[in-house]
Structure 1
Amino acid sequence: MTDSAQAQAMPAVEVKGGVVAYLCVEGAAKAAEFYARAFGATVAAQYPPDENGRTMHIHLYVNGSSLMLSDPFPEHGAPYQPLQGATLMLPATDIEKQFKRAIDAGAVAKMEPQKMFWGDTYGEFVDPFGVSWSMNQQA
């Protein structure tokens, strides 16, 4: 490993969860800040931004699981592509409070929390980075 590669090495951090989402969003560092405000996320590890302000990797802990982020790097085969057909679900213990926190942080409600036919309370929103989220509080 070269000296510059060693300088870029991140500390090993625990990956939490059975399936980990890795999101490519425009403004990964700003997304991490949003997730901290909206969900109480904490940064486990983060590469510093490059000369263009892009971050190649941020590892967050959200609600007991890992969530990973990066900015697009089209010159390395990772262009930005809007997310379609996917929703990240956050289990909630106080859905009214947790949903409001996300909306107050800048998310846009798609469906306010409501009692569903399966008995749980469920709601949906989209964050400022185009990621669809849902919250579910078991009955």
Structure 2
Amino acid sequence: MSETTTPPVTTGVTPYLTVRGASDASAFYQKAFAAQELMRQADEKSGKLIHCHLRINGADVMMSDEFPEYGMGLGDGPNGVTLHLQVDDADAWFERAVAAGATVTMPLADQFWGDRYGQLKDPFGHSWSIGASKK
């Protein structure tokens, strides 16, 4: 996608990820989760992404590369956050993410609360859960 500077309007709470390799992460999320990249702004000197806005399954996720010089560093990497996708077909979404390079951390299975549910870790260290109501 070409660089854009007009931010889409959001409401509610939007996850904002700090990523090592945000351009690669955007490409992965597009392939794994059918994300649409709505906006990107890159630093002219380093080429790192200052801001990237994605829409995944109707919800917004924003991210940037890490910039430790501005207090936006990862330290040992992301932890304590799981991004959840409630979808129409958990098997299809899960399989697509694994095919794109995600690692299974909890196999997809029918759960006691009524969802088909599993968890993955993307190549950038973020945890994702995928669930669909069993019909």
Unaligned 5+ runs, structure 1: 1-7
Gaps of 5+ in 2: none
Match of 1:37 in 2: 31
Structure with greater strand share of residues: 2
Q: Distance in 2 between matches of 1:31 and 1:12?
A: 19
1:124 partnered with 2:119: yes
* Pairing 1:24–2:30 present: no
Structure 2 residue 95 is matched with structure 1 residue 100? yes
TM-score, normalization: structure 2?
A: 0.90
Query: Percentage identity across aligned positions?
Result: 39
Matches of 1:25 and 1:12, distance apart in 2: 20
Structure 1 runs, 4 residues or longer, greater than 4 Å off: none
- Secondary structure, aligned partner of 2:66: coil
DSSP-derived class of the 1:43 partner: strand
String of CA shifts for 1:88-119, please: whole Å, max 9, x gaps.
Answer: 10002111111000000000011221011112
TM-score (norm 1): 0.88
Compared CA separation, residues 9 and 110, structure 1 to 2 (3 A):
closer
Note if contact 2:52-2:62 (Cα within 8 Å) is conserved in structure 1: yes
Q: How does 1:75-114 map to 2 (within 5 A)?
A: 75-81=69-75, 82-114=77-109
Matched, 1:54 2:40: no
Q: Which residue of 2 aligns with 1:4?
A: none
Residue number in structure 2 paired with 1:70: 64
Supply the distance in 2 between the matched residues of 1:9 and 1:103 (Cα, whole angstroms). Answer: 30
TM-fit CA distance, 1:38? 0.3
Letter in 1 for 2:99: D
Aligned length: 131
Q: Is the 8 A contact 2:4 2:40 kept in 1?
A: no
